[in-house]
Amino acid sequence: MPTNRQVYVNTESVDNYLKAILALSGTEERSVSSTALAQHLGVAPASITNMLQKLALEKPSYVEYEKGRGVRLSPHGKRRALEILRHHRLIETFLYEVLNYPLEEVHEEAERLEHFISERFEERISAKLGHPKFDPHGHRIPTMDGRMPKQASKPLTSLEEEGTFVVDSVSDQDALLLKRLKAHSIVPGARIQVVRRSLEELVLRSVGSSRAMILSRDLAKAVRIRSGD
């Protein structure tokens, strides 16, 4: 029996950990704490520590991990995380554009399928869709060679004044919120007006609509915007 490979978990679990670390590390690729990872995945801290130790001992290692100092993806782990993220976002786009899935349903379906498609199937999906650069939520799709182009956007909650902006992306994590946003025509590419801000909430509406939407600041974090000029 081989003794140099220490990961005895299924591929789905590995992929989910790598994706979570990628998401939490941000564009700065900062270290991610075990506590943040546990909250993101809904897993007990002890289980997080056990898994990270295994991923660090894998050959080649998926992560760089030292207890108490957080975790970073290794080059090998980052490549795998971006590959799975590419699968996920291409599947979402295929479900939305070809199979007419509602926007709020594509994330959960893609979560189930992303681990199992071949690279050939991934290439066929991409070609069928015309090699898209964005998924239906407005998120960048990693390139086939493992690069993630940057997006020039900022959270809706970072605004310091009212005005007109373009929705750059919306989080795929809350299906009910996606339905609410879509009902108010607040979708990627839409022009929106932020008509009022307070410490607790924001009031916004899609340009051309008379219907205003009130979002708590916690929920407003799910929307990223760019200049409407």
CA-derived radius of gyration, the chain: 19
Q: Does residue 139 belong to any structural domain of this protein?
A: no
Along the 229 residues of the chain, how does pLDDT read in single tens digits? Answer: 333 444 445 688 999 999 999 999 987 889 999 999 999 999 998 999 999 999 999 989 999 998 888 999 999 999 999 999 999 999 999 999 999 999 999 999 999 999 999 999 999 999 999 999 999 999 999 999 888 988 889 999 998 888 899 999 999 999 999 999 999 999 999 999 999 999 899 999 999 888 899 999 999 999 999 986 5
Residues with Cβ < 8 Å from 168, sequence gap 6 or more? 138, 151, 153, 188, 224, 225, 226
Amino acid symbol at 74: S
Residue 157, both tokens: 């909650």
Q: Does residue 194 belong to any structural domain of this protein?
A: yes
Residue ending a domain, among 54, 73, 92, is 73
Residue ending a domain, among 53, 73, 93, is 73
Determine contact, residues 154/167, Cβ cutoff 8 Å: no
* pTM for this predicted structure: 0.88
Determine contact, residues 140/147, Cβ cutoff 8 Å: no
Domain tally, the chain: 2
State the residue range of the domain holding 38. 11-73
Determine contact, residues 222/204, Cβ cutoff 8 Å: no
